[in-house]
Chain A
Amino acid sequence: MTLALEAVQVTKEYPSPSGDGIITAVDRMEMALERGEFVALVGPSGSGKTTMLAMLAGLLAPNSGAIRIAGQDLTQMRERERTAFRRREIGFTFQDNNLVPYLTALENVEYMLRLNGEYDRPGRERARELLVRLGLEERLKSLPRQLSGGQQQRVAIARSLINQPTLVLADEPTASLDTERAFQVVETMAQLVHAENRAAIMVTHDLRMVEYCDRVIQMVDGRLERVLSTREDITCLVNPALCERIPLAVLGYEEDEALQVQYVEL
């Protein structure tokens, strides 16, 4: 069976704002996801997480390397094909400007069905069920501004899954939520990703959110720094104080920063 996502030697360079130099925002990144995997992408600010996500989404062309989703190479497609590919095979949640402000919760989810020409009775039924499952039964007809931040993120999660895409991409979906809501949102997302057998990547600053992830990919300076894939390692990452075995140094921190790390964003 083909991998849901495969990124090989992906590199992205930006012209540096100062002058004629270049910034290598993403440097020979490698990634492979199977269906049913929920992966966290972490790393310090400026390490290239969003840039990587944009390339995986087909929104930004890498300078070199290949990105295959469900076996299809994004870099070989023309713009129009990529747009069509995105609406079928990739689900999104963003940090802000997530929902269409003048569409209700249900309409926002159904919009993806309309885009794919699947706005029929079974499709609408699925949209409703998904929102109900996300605890939004009472808010189907609410506009985004009438919803709390957490509710909005849950609508966005429903939208990202309604088309049964191969890959779900989430850029800091919990950034504007308080801790409790953030946990709820990520937990629900993890459940749905697993239940529906999608591959998902979540960029996050908040290390505590990786608790629900199957793997943690850490980037530093555009490079793949480390992959944590055992439950034990991930637990230690989430809660370093409980865990002697993984020295914080492993994660690139000094010992005396230990207590801060729990709460401070990577």
Chain B
Amino acid sequence: MSNGFHLAWLEVWRNRARFLLFSLVIALITLLILFVAALGEGLGLGNREYLQKLDADLIVFQDTAQLQISASQISPAQLRAIRRVRGVDAAGAIAFAGASIPRASAKPMDISLIGVEPGLPGAPPVLSGKTLYRSASDEVVLDAVVAQMAGLAVGDRVTIRSIQDDRETLYDLTVIGITDSRKYSIRSAVFVPMDTWDRIRSQAMAGGSNMTELPHNIAAVRLADPTQADEVRQALLEQVDRVAIADRQATWENAPGYSEQQSTLNTQRGFALLIGVLVIGGFFQIQTLQKVGQIGMLKAVGTPNRTIAVASLLQIVLVTAIGVLIGGAAALGLAQVFPGNVPIVFTWESGLAAVGSIMLMGPLGGLVSIRYALRVEPLTALGLSA
């Protein structure tokens, strides 16, 4: 063991330029894997953040919408019926639209304009200022990213731009509160009372404007007893006409492209990992091939195979670990300088999973070279082959 360590360490140390160069290659691969993971996390979060933070246990859709929020319309009558079902503590209507906020020195910032019912599930809690409390008002709550990107604070006026009949229309509203980041559809969110939402949202989306009552996309249902979810779900289906029901996770997983995006990114991560394994394996295999004579000599003078294996493995682990450390540090550094609107989110879980997988897969790639080293005949030291 200690002889293996002695050989491994001195070989790396006395060839540190070469090994460092290779560690840098591993660092780049680590960086790539971490970024793909962060991108997956960022895009995923951008799609589900609002839904994930929603204070609701069940989401009610129109039955024909196939659990797609944009295709779903819940009528006020359905909403009233939902509220009458036993076990429903509260139900809030939620409506989604796209809009933007013009900025003085940058291009307009795209946002998700979310209409909610003050005081009911769907309306966000605030970090500062007040929550929405009146239904027809010109008051908005911004998520923290919008506030930061648009340079807005509580009490400021904010201009929302939306398209009405092919013409852009501007609405001036007052910021009364700021909530934490609650992205929906990869855009940061602006929350307005439902009536205000109906005024602002793009009318091209409205379908027939001859509707007498305002339709919403979904209803967020909070249960009196969350353990009763199955029973209430059943009751809702029986007592409310033409609805479909999902929990929050099923809702975001059903968002258009969500799972496809995640699986694409997971495939990319897998490929990056595979490339890492092949590169590490290739490097050490080439090195072993160059050292055949030397390995033969070590064995001829009486080095046990165990020592050779320990030395090879330690070397691979060391070089991989240094590369992963450098790559991880670089990713951490880059994460600090990325602006908030880039959908890149480093989480400890996904970061450690990525780092752990390289630390594990690297030596796996090196196994081929270790096996090869173990099979070198000591006879080669004399220039003979068996």
Contacts and interface: CB of A to CB of B under 8 A. Distances in A.
Nearest to B292: A97
Interface string B8-33: 00110011000000000000000000
B296 A97 contact: yes
Size class of the A contact interface (CB-based, 8 Å): 20 to 34
Contacts of A87: 301-303
Interface string A143-159: 10000000000000001
A76 to B, nearest CB: 18
Interface string A70-86: 00000000001001101
A88 B302 CA distance: 8
A115 B381 contact: no
Given A50-B383, A54-B379, A115 B293 contact: no
Interface in B279-319: 293-294, 296-304
Nearest to A103: B10
A174 interface: no
B382 interface: yes
Given A60-B386, A97-B296, A107-B10, A92 B303 contact: no
A80 B293 CA distance: 20
Interface residues of B, number: 27
Given A54-B382, A97-B297, A102 B302 contact: no
Contacts of A60: 379, 384, 386
Nearest to A117: B3
Contacts of B294: 97, 100-101
Nearest to A60: B379
B384 A94 contact: no
Given A97-B293, A102-B14, A143-B14, A57 B300 contact: yes
A87 B384 CA distance: 20
A200 to B, nearest CB: 16
A54 B297 contact: no
Nearest to B380: A97
Interface string A36-60: 0000000000000011011001011
A50 B382 contact: yes
Interface string A112-149: 10110000000000000000000000000001000000
Contacts, number: 77
A145 to B, nearest CB: 10
B378 interface: yes
Contacts of A50: 382-384
Contacts of B2: 114
A114 B382 contact: no
A63 interface: no
A97 B381 contact: yes
A120 to B, nearest CB: 14
Contacts of A98: 297
B138 to A, nearest CB: 75
A111 B6 CA distance: 9
A54 B384 CA distance: 8
A193 B43 CA distance: 74
Contact of A92 (B7, B301, B386): B301
B6 A114 contact: yes
Nearest to B299: A83
Contact of B383 (A95, A103, A111, A112): A95
A2 to B, nearest CB: 21
A171 interface: yes
B298 A100 contact: yes
A196 interface: no
A96 B301 contact: no
B293 to A, nearest CB: 4
Contacts of B378: 59, 83
B364 to A, nearest CB: 25
Contacts of A103: 10
A100 B298 CA distance: 8
A114 B3 contact: yes
A115 B383 contact: no
B375 to A, nearest CB: 13
Contacts of A90: 302
Interface in A186-225: none
B373 to A, nearest CB: 14
Contacts of B11: 102
A83 to B, nearest CB: 6
Given A102-B11, A114-B3, A86 B386 contact: no
A75 B299 CA distance: 18
Contact of A94 (B302, B377, B381, B386): B381
Contacts of A51: 384
14 contacts: A50-B383, A53-B382, A54-B382, A59-B300, A59-B377, A60-B384, A83-B299, A83-B302, A83-B378, A86-B300, A86-B301, A96-B293, A100-B7, A171-B383
Which A-B residue pairs are the 5 nearest by beta carbons? A87-B302, A97-B293, A102-B14, A86-B302, A102-B11
Given A51-B384, A59-B300, A83-B302, 13 more contacts: A50-B382, A53-B382, A59-B379, A60-B379, A83-B304, A87-B303, A94-B297, A94-B382, A96-B293, A97-B296, A98-B297, A102-B14, A171-B383
Interface of A: 50-51, 53-54, 57, 59-60, 80, 83-84, 86-88, 90, 92, 94-98, 100-103, 107, 111-112, 114-115, 143, 159, 171
Interface of B: 2-3, 6-7, 10-11, 14-15, 293-294, 296-304, 377-379, 381-384, 386
